[in-house]
Structure 1
Amino acid sequence: MSDEPLPPRTAAVIPAAGRGVRLGPGAPKALRALNGTPMLVHAVRAMAASRAVSLVVVVAPPEEAATAAVRNLLTEVALPDRTDVVVVPGGETRQESVRRGLDALPDDITIVLVHDAARPLVPVDTVDSVIEAVRDGAPAVVPALPLADTVKEVVPGERGEPEPVVATPERARLRAVQTPQGFDRDTLVRAHGAVEAQGEDATDCAGLVERLGQRVVVVPGHEEAFKVTRPLDLVLAEAVLARRRANDGF
């Protein structure tokens, strides 16, 4: 037997318990169809496309029937033999759902990806770049893109009302963050524990790590890793899939 240490095992946690009301009435956002296939299935396949990912934990809506439906859906999905899928019920908030996903991980997982089900088209090269940066020693890694638009900081007002501008941040220093975000497992567990003890909630796991005073680094994101939030995003996602089919036989 070789004395060389085995590479760290990586798991992806996909919180998919949200309703996604901005997409309009209908099924939960993660189950909306793209090219006839639920977004969640596309997201699971995107994580499993990385040879480094050996486990995908999907955090489903907390209702028993909804969790069972997601579990049944994913049993029909063909994935590489190297990748297992586990479905667990989620919580009332994204943070609680991620924490439940972390609780489901076996002890030998040392790197954790947290990925939005609503980013179903992230390329495998982006996933691999995040994992590699964690393997190289970064406790937290996020893929991100430079901003194309100038950003204004304002005093929030009522919807539709004029809002006074208070600052214009330097655009060159800003990035639009995507997922999967990657973490050293122990660091992410400590970050969630610290915020839970304070009774707070958060939607960005990397932000929790920042609060610990740990280093968070950015790697290049990808334009196809956009978040499907509004009806127009569904149209764009369908167009991306059509282009992939035409170019790559996807």
Structure 2
Amino acid sequence: MRGHYEELAAEYDEHWVYGPDYVSWMSARIIDALHLSPTARIADIGAGTCLFAKEVARQLGPHHPILCVDPSEAMLRQLGTPPSSGLTPIVASAEDIAEGRAGLPYEQLDAIWLKESVHHVDDQARTLRGLADRLAPGGRLLVVMLPASIQYPLFQAALDRFEELQPDPANIQAHLRAAGLDTGLTHVEHELRINRDKYLGMVRARYMSLLSTFSDSEIEKGIEEMRSAHPEPELVFPDRFAFVVGQRSRETA
């Protein structure tokens, strides 16, 4: 999977910017869900190119750099040198942070988010517990993830495989609860409008990690299926996300 993102790094932002307001909309939802303040010590785990962290920093004006944590150095290099203002890249996995194998500039964190990266974690219960342990009293951990099924205009085999592989948000909530956090589960939805040919190109480039499980011939067959099912020039579909939030008690041990 790391190889998938290494290959996609240079074009990643292009594939994820569905429309002019998508990134700002999602970033605002993250800020609201975590009740972020400019003084918070924040980490984006699985940050990729820091597409959303950059926008959060722009909207929030943080006093401390947001930590952009990702195991792919190629993805983090898209920040440039020096990196964008208000961001600090750290090459590490969620497991590295959870197990204390990667040093962080902050002893504790006030807010952590993982956006569409928890499905890459092998032992989700253990890793989320380790991340919860990095929170300061009152700190919040947010997992942004797709629900168990989606209404994307993908080919059927991709939709079926998604349902086979996608974790259930309720299970993620249970892991956070077991880690000692007070939890909540809500959903947000954003209508996507995207040129059909652009979206087909995104599928061909395997913009979703799920698509990396299909061969070139399977992808091309799937694209032909999508062309037949969606002759319209613009695709309109809901992008629905589960927001799983856990908060550590304000009482110190």
- Please give the TM-score of this superposition, normalised by the length of structure 1: 0.36
Flag the structure with higher helix content: 2
